[in-house]
Amino acid sequence: MGLADIHDPPLVEIEEGTKILPPNLILTTVNKVVNWSRLSSLWPMTFGLACCAIEMMTAGSSHYDLDRLGIIFRASPRQSDCLIVAGTITKKIAPVVRRVYDQMPEPRYVIAMGSCACTGGIFNTYSTVQGADLFLPVDVYIPGCPPRPEAFIEGLVKLQEKIRREQYRWSYWR
Amino acid sequence: MEPLEIAEKIKEKFPDEVVEVTSFRDQVSVIVKKHKIIKICRYLHDDANLYFDYLADLCGADHLNKKEPRFEVVYHLYSMRHRHRIRLKAQVPEDDPRIDTVTSIWAGANWHERECHDLFGIVFRGHPDLRRVLLPEDWEGYPLRKDYPVKGPEKEWSGFQEVLDKAKQFKEFGWKG
Q: What is the ipTM of this complex?
A: 0.80
Q: Which residues contact A26 (CB under 8 A, 6 or more apart)?
A: A18, A19, A20
Give strand ranges (E) for chain A.
12-15, 18-21, 25-27, 44-45, 82-86, 109-113, 140-142
Element counts in chain B: helices (H) and strands (E): 4, 7
Q: Are A72 and A99 in contact (CB under 8 A)?
A: no
Residue type, B174: G
| A154-166 per-position pLDDT tens digit | 999 999 999 999 8
Q: Check CB contact of B160 with chain A, cutoff 8 Å.
A: yes
Give strand ranges (E) for B34-158.
54-62, 71-78, 85-92, 98-100, 123-125
- Return the pLDDT at A157: 94
Percent composition of chain B: helix, strand, coil (DSSP 3-state, to 5): 30, 25, 45
Beta carbons of A111 and A73 less than 8 angstroms apart: no
> Closest Cα partner for B6 from B79, B99, B73?
B79
pLDDT tier, A2 (very low <50, low <70, confident <90, very high otherwise):
low
Is the CB of A125 less than 8 angstroms away from the CB of B174? no
CA–CA distance, B74 with B100 (Å, rounded to integer): 13
Type and span of the H or E element at B22: strand B18-24
Q: Which tens digits make up the pLDDT trace of A5-36? A: 566 667 888 888 888 887 788 889 888 999 99
The 3-state DSSP class for residue A45 equals strand
Share the mean pLDDT of chain A: 88
Residues of B in contact with A125 (CB under 8 A): 150-152
Dist CA B55 CA B106 (whole Å): 7
The DSSP bridge pattern shows strands A25-27 and A18-21 to be antiparallel
In this prediction, residue B117 carries a pLDDT of: 92
* Residues from A in contact with B at Cβ < 8 Å: 91-92, 94-95, 98, 102, 106-107, 124-127, 129, 134-137, 166-167, 169, 173-174
Q: How far apart are CA A41 and CA A72, in angstroms?
A: 8
Pairwise pLDDT comparison (A168 vs A115), residue with the higher score: A115
Paired with B59 in beta bridges are B74
Torsion of CA B12, B17, B20, B23, to 10 degrees: -60
Output the pLDDT for position A169. Answer: 84
Q: Would the CB atoms of A92 and B136 count as touching at under 8 Å?
A: yes
Query: Is A4's pLDDT higher than 80?
Result: no
**What is the per-residue pLDDT across A88-133, written as a single tens digit (0 to 9) for each?**
999 999 999 999 999 999 889 999 999 999 998 899 999 999 999 9
Give the chain A residue nearest B171 (alpha carbons). Answer: A137
Per-residue pLDDT, A147: 93
Distance from CA of A133 to the nearest CA of B (A): 10
| Residue B91: partners with Cβ closer than 8 Å, 6 or more residues away | B19, B31, B32, B33, B34, B69, B71, B72
Considering CB atoms only, which of B164, B173, B175 is closest to A107?
B175
User: Looking at residue B176, what is its pLDDT?
Assistant: 77
CA distances from A25 to A6, A12, A20, A40, B93 (A): 13, 10, 6, 21, 84
Round to whole Å and give the CA distance between B156 and B166. Answer: 15
pLDDT band at residue A173, thresholds of 50, 70 and 90?
low
Q: Where are the alpha helices (DSSP H) in chain B?
A: 3-13, 37-46, 109-120, 158-170
Of A94, A107, A125, nearest to B163 by CB-CB distance is A94
**pLDDT < 70: residue spans in chain B:** 177
